[in-house]
Amino acid sequence: MKMSSLFVRTLREDPVDAEVASHKLLVRAGYIRRAAPGIYTWLPLGLRVLGKIEAIVREEMDAIGAQEVHFPALLPRDPYEETGRWTGYGPNLFRLKDRKENDYLLAPTHEEMFTLLVKDLYSSYKDLPVILYQIQTKYRDEARPRAGLIRGREFIMKDSYSFDVDDDGLSAAYDAHRAAYMRVFRRLGLDYVICSAMSGAMGGSRSEEFLHPTPVGEDTFVRSQGGYAANVEAVTTVAPLPRDFTDLQPARLLATPGAHTIESLVTFANLHYPREDRAWVAADTLKVVFVTLIHVNGEREVVVIGVPGDRDVDMRRLQAAFDPAEVTTATPEDLARHPEIVPGYSGPQAVGPNGAPRREDGTGGAPRFFIDPRIVDGTSWIAGGNATDMHVFGLVAGRDFTADGIIEAAEVRAGDPAPDGSGPLELARGIEIGHIFQLGRKYAEALGLTVLDQNGKATIVTMGSYGIGISRAVAAIAEAYHDDFGLTWPIQVAPAHVHIIATGKEDAVFGAAAELAAALDARGVETLYDDRPRVSAGVKFADAELLGLPWVVVVGRGLASGTVEVRERRTGARFEVPVAEAAGVLAERVETALQAARD
Amino acid sequence: MKMSSLFVRTLREDPVDAEVASHKLLVRAGYIRRAAPGIYTWLPLGLRVLGKIEAIVREEMDAIGAQEVHFPALLPRDPYEETGRWTGYGPNLFRLKDRKENDYLLAPTHEEMFTLLVKDLYSSYKDLPVILYQIQTKYRDEARPRAGLIRGREFIMKDSYSFDVDDDGLSAAYDAHRAAYMRVFRRLGLDYVICSAMSGAMGGSRSEEFLHPTPVGEDTFVRSQGGYAANVEAVTTVAPLPRDFTDLQPARLLATPGAHTIESLVTFANLHYPREDRAWVAADTLKVVFVTLIHVNGEREVVVIGVPGDRDVDMRRLQAAFDPAEVTTATPEDLARHPEIVPGYSGPQAVGPNGAPRREDGTGGAPRFFIDPRIVDGTSWIAGGNATDMHVFGLVAGRDFTADGIIEAAEVRAGDPAPDGSGPLELARGIEIGHIFQLGRKYAEALGLTVLDQNGKATIVTMGSYGIGISRAVAAIAEAYHDDFGLTWPIQVAPAHVHIIATGKEDAVFGAAAELAAALDARGVETLYDDRPRVSAGVKFADAELLGLPWVVVVGRGLASGTVEVRERRTGARFEVPVAEAAGVLAERVETALQAARD
């Protein structure tokens, strides 16, 4: 590659819509260009990085016996209708009609199609196990595409699917993917944390995310010194043991005029109803939050969430708990259907099993009530009195109220204990670069994928689904490998290995640089030669730093004394090499680095 | 690859929707599966063929200095609006809205985006020339997807675009592509004919199609012994010279009751108005055909086409002549706006410049009239008399009527002279596998792509666009390389080189076959080893013939005497080889064949 003809133009200014380093630098260095919100074009240098990542992913997938196929992106509605995802995907799904008014979609993932393909070809337990994968363009109509390649609307993923007759087979396929992903991310030079990604609510299936820790990541996760890691949605609360409440005083309904917030309630209580042992704190109060679930069938249901008053409800955790229903703010119309709600003064005794029962036709009644695991039997609370300016003091869980269920919806905080006892949690952010997931039999059941077992009996196949964000990995690597001056690619994914700069105007310099490029090419070293004749050395240096190839060779003044300067882009280390030895030295360094990245 | 685990199942029955051999065999042999009409999934074997074709195309594009990029498939409406293609593409364009109700499309080709990208990065004549290409998934909502991969709705193309400051540059880029395409198709083993593809109406730009001749092709083209080739739309008619008409008799309006077809008119004329020198023939009559143009702005216009009565109007040629307007049948409502039309008896004297003039506001008047090039001044015709049961005899072009223009709309027939004088034409059918096209300045003008020339003056860039149907090439190769038993891939695109079959039940056979597979793998020969233990030799042979790998090795009975049988799939030639020499012999044959396909 020669800079004089390479289709690239570097920019000195950050793009106006860019907030994170990877987005700024990939655009400024001419790797990608925006075509529409969340939709990018790959320029030659970017496409080379993408290709190298794809090759590494292919090698590791092939190594676990996965077979590559390729599905269309444009798919008919029917299979997604059968699994409920046509509607379940909500506004994130790009939907369209063809000229005959048939419904189509742009696939966000391909579980349905892989399931149907295996159903189409296979029929016996002897055909299994099989792992299939593709590297393919996916579509998701994100509400807020952001951060360049990190959250796009058209993006490239490796998705694979495993098919097994039994749970042991699924476990083996899952473990094989887990190990392959560890190798992939290590080979890409990407630091990762494997986070538990599922609450128990989904039926015990196993799911983990590979997060690349970075402050610009949009996923929050927690980890402990002792090795626990989970995304925030999956963190389970360490609940206290239930307490004996036989000796507790009856609850008292007390006037709390104007105390319709937790803060004002605590202040009022300390002023007018002080406790003897210590002051009241927010954690003594029970906060109720009303939200509306929009079920997949479109039905709206108001539910009530009870959490200790010192914690907010985390909408992502709430959403994960109620998935596939969508959690949204309760509107005045939603609330109007529940006259028992007293804004600012609602409490447990009017909702869930404690409130009005449903009518015989299933309508009416109090909204369902879900409580935080910390609200165990025997805990005592200050809660809303279900009348304006009134609160109940000493309201005891399990004695004065019960709930429809326990929910993991309260925010997770730094210092909370890890559920496995491995110490206090710290919060961090990351980019999701991989996800492995034991789907189980959900899709096979919905689409009728069975095989005959040893006894000739039809048995439902169990599946796993596994993804790697290929285009997102480009951004994650750029986040991990850059400095104030530009990108600093790991050699195994760099668009080329060596950036040769000819400085000055002398023909001898350009001749020597061209010779060096040819010598490196002959040794299999990929080069980008900046052969631009009327461009200053300063501009060339700045471009080389921005583009971020691992090795920079400057052919210039030193040539008079027979040397060139070699710079290591990431460390800034520089040394002089006799021009005749330069190709050999660089080829060896490149080969050593590539080998190290492979092992 | 081992048959026991390879994700493939061969079918004995043709798919019900398949009409052509490539479609039947690619599905039956497990290379592709239908996902929706005109939309296919690539199974492992098909994906390998596709990959090999892509690699050959990449090599030849890189060899002419083209640089690879990758555009999104999902694109915003705006650029296509600016070039008129948002509407101009009609129902062939997949259109959709995102969650914010913005218009998007699935790109059928990327002229707009490439133009904008170059505009984005480049500004000086010094930046040019540049050739960019991509291998990418394209979408076209065909009214009648058919023949499997030959006419699909989601398909893979290599599209490239050249950008030059002047016509000479464009010519050079065009010629480079033409030569590269010749190399590509030769390397793919695909016979091709380069057909002229443009009528002069488009302003002299050059355009040629690469057609693979096959009876199942959907493009009709013509060729002469002398080397002329063109698609039917581009054939120009050899017009006779104008004749002196000073001595011709005046036209006579004669009664022709009931003669409202060409056939009945000729019969009637010979009976009642016989000519002395010979009988009247259809070619003596002038047929007028009414069609409606739907212009890009939606306006409907009736136009009249005049052709010699022995020829039909070819709707594809007519469509090409009026592009981008859409040609459709004139409805009764369309015709009602022209009271001068007398069904069955209309003639030139009531239409075009010979009919009622337009009103001052531009409305009304006779429909426009276009004539076949054979209707030169001085030719004499029997034509409609514009009154029921009446025809005009001896109506002379240039004396009694004129036209609004000449049009190439009459059917082309075998035996018609080639326009370049290279002999009579024959008609043939082919699959369009490539298309090269001098776009000129149309897109650059519409989207404002200019560069500063040597004098600092903005000059509009001139462009070429060039396509190869990658997925269609798979089908074309399958059409060219198959027999009654299955596919017979050329080695350079075969999913693997050698198909090893172990027959019988003896461990020694399977051991020897596995050893041979390993020995071939070690030599870089790609193998598919049929290691299925309980499958009959007959089934294995049939599968090998269906899958179509170039070499088949049978390890079986011969092993007792130390030999294996080698079969050449295409020729059926068989010979015995000592088992110890088999790997060496095959590796040499494979390497020789691959080398021959490269040179």
pLDDT of chain A, 599 residues: tens digit per residue:
999 999 999 999 998 888 899 999 999 999 999 999 999 999 999 999 999 999 999 999 999 999 999 999 999 999 999 888 898 888 899 999 999 999 999 999 999 999 999 999 999 999 999 999 999 999 999 988 888 899 999 999 999 999 999 999 999 999 999 999 999 999 999 999 999 886 443 344 789 999 999 999 988 999 999 999 998 888 989 889 999 999 899 999 999 998 989 999 999 999 999 999 999 999 999 999 999 999 878 889 999 999 999 999 999 899 888 887 889 999 999 988 888 888 889 999 999 889 888 877 767 789 999 999 999 999 999 999 999 999 999 999 999 999 999 999 999 999 999 999 999 999 999 999 999 999 999 899 989 999 999 999 999 999 999 999 999 999 999 999 999 999 999 999 999 999 999 998 899 999 999 999 999 999 999 999 999 999 999 999 999 999 999 999 999 989 999 999 999 999 999 999 999 999 999 999 999 999 999 88
B301 lies in some domain: yes
B74 closest CB neighbour out of A42, A76, A106:
A106
Separation between Cα atoms, residue B27 and residue B474, nearest integer Å: 12
The CA distance from A229 to the nearest CA of chain B, in Å, is: 34
B contacts of A135 (beta carbons < 8 Å): none
Asked if A69 lies within 8 A of B7 by C-beta distance, the reply is yes
Separation between Cα atoms, residue A584 and residue A590, nearest integer Å: 10
Q: Which residues pair with A196 in a beta bridge?
A: A208, A230
B83 lies in some domain: no
DSSP A252-269: EEEE-TT--SHHHHHHHH
- Please, are residues A492 and A60 in contact by the beta-carbon 8 Å criterion? no
Q: What is the tally of structural domains in chain B?
A: 3
B72 closest CB neighbour out of A30, A39, A104:
A39
Whether residues A170 and A132 share a domain: the answer is yes
What burial class does residue B359 get, using C-beta atoms within 10 Å of its C-beta: 0-12 exposed, 13-18 middle, 19+ buried?
exposed
Asked if B104 lies within 8 A of A36 by C-beta distance, the reply is yes
Work out the pLDDT band at B123, boundaries 50, 70, 90.
very high
Work out the pLDDT band at B363, boundaries 50, 70, 90.
confident
Separation between Cα atoms, residue B65 and residue B157, nearest integer Å: 19
A contacts of B104 (beta carbons < 8 Å): 36, 94
B9 closest CB neighbour out of A5, A121, A153:
A121
- Give the pLDDT of residue B218: 86
A contacts of B96 (beta carbons < 8 Å): 94-96, 106
Separation between Cα atoms, residue A60 and residue B343, nearest integer Å: 72
Beta strands in A295-424 (DSSP E): 300-308, 326-329, 368-371, 380-384, 390-396, 405-406
Separation between Cα atoms, residue A224 and residue A353, nearest integer Å: 37
DSSP A489-510: --TTTSS-SEEEEE-SS-HHHH
- Give the pLDDT of residue B121: 94
CATH number at residue A560: 3.40.50.800
Whether residues A213 and A349 share a domain: the answer is no
Strands of the sheet with A405-406, listed across from one edge: A326-329, A286-294, A300-308, A368-371, A405-406
Residue B119, pLDDT above cutoff 70: yes
What burial class does residue A514 get, using C-beta atoms within 10 Å of its C-beta: 0-12 exposed, 13-18 middle, 19+ buried?
middle
- Please, are residues A348 and A383 in contact by the beta-carbon 8 Å criterion? yes
Supply angle C-alpha A200, A204, A209, rounded to 5. 75
Angle between helices B470-480 and B21-28 (to 10 degrees): 100
A334 lies in some domain: yes
How far apart, in Å, are the Cα atoms of B538 and each of A127, B29, B520, B554, B577?
21, 16, 24, 12, 21
Asked if A30 lies within 8 A of B121 by C-beta distance, the reply is yes
Whether residues A495 and A540 share a domain: the answer is yes
B152 lies in some domain: yes
Q: Read off the pTM.
A: 0.89
A242 lies in some domain: no
Residue pointed to by tokens 């019988």:
B504
Neighbours of A507 (CB within 10 A): 9
Tokens for A76? 């008919």
Asked if A153 lies within 8 A of B35 by C-beta distance, the reply is no
Q: Which residues pair with B487 in a beta bridge?
A: B482
Listed residue (B377, B451, B407, B446) closest to B163, CA to CA:
B451
Taking only the tens place, the pLDDT of each residue in B414-451 is 999 999 999 999 999 999 999 999 999 989 999 999 99
B35 closest CB neighbour out of A30, A75, A96:
A75
Tokens for A271? 């002023």
Helices (H), B9-65: 21-28, 44-63
Tell which wins on pLDDT, B359 or A445. A445
- Give the pLDDT of residue A340: 81
Phi and psi angles of residue B371, each rounded to the nearest 5 degrees, phi first:
-120, 155
Listed residue (B416, B431, B428, B433) closest to B222, CA to CA:
B428
Asked if B94 lies within 8 A of A71 by C-beta distance, the reply is no
β-pairing verdict for A563-568 and A551-555:
antiparallel
A contacts of B153 (beta carbons < 8 Å): 74, 98
- Percent above pLDDT 70 for chain B: 99
- Please, are residues A567 and A547 in contact by the beta-carbon 8 Å criterion? no
Residue B65, pLDDT above cutoff 90: yes
Angle between helices B507-522 and B579-598 (to 10 degrees): 40
B143 closest CB neighbour out of A40, A99, A121:
A99
Separation between Cα atoms, residue B432 and residue B219, nearest integer Å: 7
**B359, B374, B406 — which closes off a domain?**
B406
Whether residues A375 and A454 share a domain: the answer is no
Tokens for A184? 């992939």
Q: By three-state DSSP, how is residue A220 classified? A: strand
The CA distance from A256 to the nearest CA of chain B, in Å, is: 46
- Give the pLDDT of residue A94: 96
The CA distance from A96 to the nearest CA of chain B, in Å, is: 5
Asked if A143 lies within 8 A of B99 by C-beta distance, the reply is yes
Residue B122, pLDDT above cutoff 50: yes
Supply angle C-alpha A412, A417, A422, rounded to 5. 130
Listed residue (B262, B311, B320) closest to B415, CA to CA:
B311
- Give the pLDDT of residue B200: 40
How far apart, in Å, are the Cα atoms of B282 and each of B20, B268, B391?
37, 12, 14
Sign of CA dihedral A166, A169, A175, A180: negative
Q: For residues B246-281, b (16+ Cβ closer than 10 Å) or e, as one string?
A: eeeeebeebebeebbebeebbebbeeeeeeeeeebe
Asked if A68 lies within 8 A of B47 by C-beta distance, the reply is yes
A414 lies in some domain: no
Asked if A74 lies within 8 A of B36 by C-beta distance, the reply is yes
Whether residues B62 and B185 share a domain: the answer is yes
Whether residues A531 and A432 share a domain: the answer is no
Separation between Cα atoms, residue B309 and residue B260, nearest integer Å: 12
B contacts of A75 (beta carbons < 8 Å): 35-36, 39
Question: Which ipTM did the prediction report?
Answer: 0.89
Asked if B47 lies within 8 A of A69 by C-beta distance, the reply is yes
Separation between Cα atoms, residue B289 and residue B282, nearest integer Å: 15
Whether residues B331 and B361 share a domain: the answer is yes
Asked if B74 lies within 8 A of A104 by C-beta distance, the reply is no
Structure-derived torsion over alpha carbons of residues A572, A576, A579, A583, reported in degrees to the nearest 10: -40
Long-range CB contacts (within 8 A, 24+) of A91-97: A91/A141, A91/A143, A91/B99, A92/A140, A92/A141, A92/A142, A92/A143, A92/B99, A93/A140, A93/A141, A94/A139, A94/A140, A94/A141, A94/B74, A94/B96, A94/B98, A94/B104, A95/B96, A96/B94, A96/B95, A96/B96, A96/B106
Whether residues B209 and B66 share a domain: the answer is yes
Residue range B186-195: average pLDDT?
96
- Give the pLDDT of residue A374: 95
Asked if A130 lies within 8 A of B30 by C-beta distance, the reply is no
CATH number at residue B335: 3.90.960.10
- Please, are residues A58 and A65 in contact by the beta-carbon 8 Å criterion? no
Whether residues A538 and A457 share a domain: the answer is no
The CA distance from B153 to the nearest CA of chain A, in Å, is: 9
- Give the pLDDT of residue B568: 97
Structure-derived torsion over alpha carbons of residues A129, A134, A140, A144, reported in degrees to the nearest 10: 110
The CA distance from B488 to the nearest CA of chain A, in Å, is: 22
Whether residues B153 and B278 share a domain: the answer is no
Q: Which residues pair with B570 in a beta bridge?
A: none
Phi and psi angles of residue B49, each rounded to the nearest 5 degrees, phi first:
-60, -45
CATH number at residue A140: 3.30.930.10
Domain extent at residue A395 = 252-406
Whether residues B266 and B392 share a domain: the answer is yes
> Which of B67, B122, B126 to mutate: most A Cβ within 10 Å?
B67
β-pairing verdict for A551-555 and A498-502:
parallel
Mean pLDDT of chain B: 93
Residue range B467-475: average pLDDT?
97
Asked if B67 lies within 8 A of A7 by C-beta distance, the reply is yes
Q: By three-state DSSP, how is residue B184 classified? A: helix
Work out the pLDDT band at B565, boundaries 50, 70, 90.
very high
A418 lies in some domain: no
Task: Find, in chain B, the residue whose alpha carbon is nearest to that of A68.
Answer: B44
Asked if A35 lies within 8 A of B71 by C-beta distance, the reply is yes
Asked if A67 lies within 8 A of B6 by C-beta distance, the reply is yes
B contacts of A124 (beta carbons < 8 Å): none
Whether residues B510 and B528 share a domain: the answer is yes
Beta-carbon contacts of residue A536 (< 8 Å; ≥ 6 apart): none
The CA distance from A343 to the nearest CA of chain B, in Å, is: 34
Separation between Cα atoms, residue B56 and residue B500, nearest integer Å: 26
Neighbours of A393 (CB within 10 A): 21
B contacts of A41 (beta carbons < 8 Å): 69-72, 113, 117
Taking only the tens place, the pLDDT of each residue in B493-520 is 999 999 999 998 899 999 999 999 999 9
B98 closest CB neighbour out of A33, A94, A122:
A94
Separation between Cα atoms, residue B425 and residue B412, nearest integer Å: 9
Asked if A96 lies within 8 A of B95 by C-beta distance, the reply is yes
β-pairing verdict for A368-371 and A300-308:
parallel
Q: Which residues pair with B42 in a beta bridge?
A: A70, B32
Asked if A42 lies within 8 A of B96 by C-beta distance, the reply is no
B258 lies in some domain: yes
- Give the pLDDT of residue B396: 96
Work out the pLDDT band at B36, boundaries 50, 70, 90.
very high
How far apart, in Å, are the Cα atoms of B13 and each of B9, B17, B27, B261, B547?
12, 11, 10, 48, 14
The CA distance from B126 to the nearest CA of chain A, in Å, is: 9
